[in-house]
Structure 1
Amino acid sequence: MFDNYAWLAWVGAALALGAIEAATVDFVFLMLAGGALGGSAAAAVGAPFPLQAVVAVVVAGGLLGLVRPWAKRRFTVRPDGARMGTAGYIGRSGFVLETISGTSGRVKIGGETWSARTANGEETHPGDEVRVLAIEGATAVVTRVIPPI
């Protein structure tokens, strides 16, 4: 039944795998779709089904081993070394809401209120500008920014 149209079945499999890739965006199903296209090419030149399957597996394996690592590095690079999560707060500036000492206080960083403490135990007062040195749990470790004269 599919003897003359086996290539079409492989293309259908590639399209289905491509649709799954659109949902996962991890480059695995895209590489498997590439393997299915390899099987489709083998079917188009008249190869028997076992050879089509071998071609599909070899192409998919090659893509997974060689192309996927490159694609992951290429498309997951953050511009200018941007960091995510709490690491993204390190180096940012904020403003003191409640006096910050070596043990407690409140600071506003990027529109969010954080509990804070100073790194060296000095006190900072409301309105002072501070810079985040580290995030320890839910506490920002900060230091006062001395305004230029």
Structure 2
Amino acid sequence: MWPDLTQYMWIAWLSLALLFVIVELLTLEFTFLMLAAGTLIGGLGTNLFGGPWWFQVLAAAAVSALLLFTIRPLLLRALRRSSRLHPTNVDALYGMPARVTGPFVDGRGFVRLDNGEQWTAEVPDAVGAPELGSRVVVTAVRGATVEVAPATVTPERSSD
């Protein structure tokens, strides 16, 4: 009277694998990718060879666990090894060389950074005002103003 639904298990395995791949695209941690591979290799593979439903579930769980504990750590290690931190935005300005483009009056002037940006600049009280056209280095960023020092001074990063 009722149809045998186990003959349609392959649709369930493909749907589950697709769901895992979609979730993996949102998380990007290789966990759901390993579950999707286990679903396809263990579950769908066993289904295509005619295994019973309980063996399909067992095979999918075993392959997923094997992939999670063997392949995933290797993939994560390779991913993290190749991704060094590169400073961007304001963090990339610390230590950047610049040339003075406007005279410093009362400790404020203008510099053109080596990336081409024009900034308002300040010099610390202990450092004399740099000459027009001289080279300086960014030592701090305070809002829309950079603090500069002569190019011979090593920049110190401040967290203001």
Q: TM-score range, shorter-chain basis?
A: 0.5 to 0.7
Distance 1:33 1:75 in 2: 20
Question: 1:7–1:41: 8 Å Cα contact kept in structure 2?
Answer: no
TM-score (ref. length: structure 1): 0.59
Q: 1:105 to 1:11 in 2, by over 3 A?
A: farther
Question: 2:109–2:122: 8 Å Cα contact kept in structure 1?
Answer: yes
Which ranges in structure 2 are unaligned for 5 or more consecutive residues? 153-160
Q: 1:7 to 1:82 in 2, by over 3 A?
A: same
Shift of 1:25: 5.0
Shift of 1:123: 1.2
Question: 2:107–2:129: 8 Å Cα contact kept in structure 1?
Answer: no
Q: 1:26 to 1:7 in 2, by over 3 A?
A: same
Superposition RMSD in Å: 4.0
Q: Is residue 141 from structure 1 mapped to residue 147 from structure 2 by the alignment? A: yes
Q: SS state of the match for residue 112, structure 2? A: strand
**What is the aligned residue count?**
145
Shift of 1:112: 1.8
Which ranges in structure 1 are unaligned for 5 or more consecutive residues? none
- The residue number in structure 1 matching 2:112 is 108
Give identity over the alignment, percent: 30
Q: Is residue 40 from structure 1 mapped to residue 53 from structure 2 by the alignment? A: no
Distance 2:65 2:57 in 1: 12
Shift of 1:136: 3.4
TM-score (ref. length: structure 2): 0.56
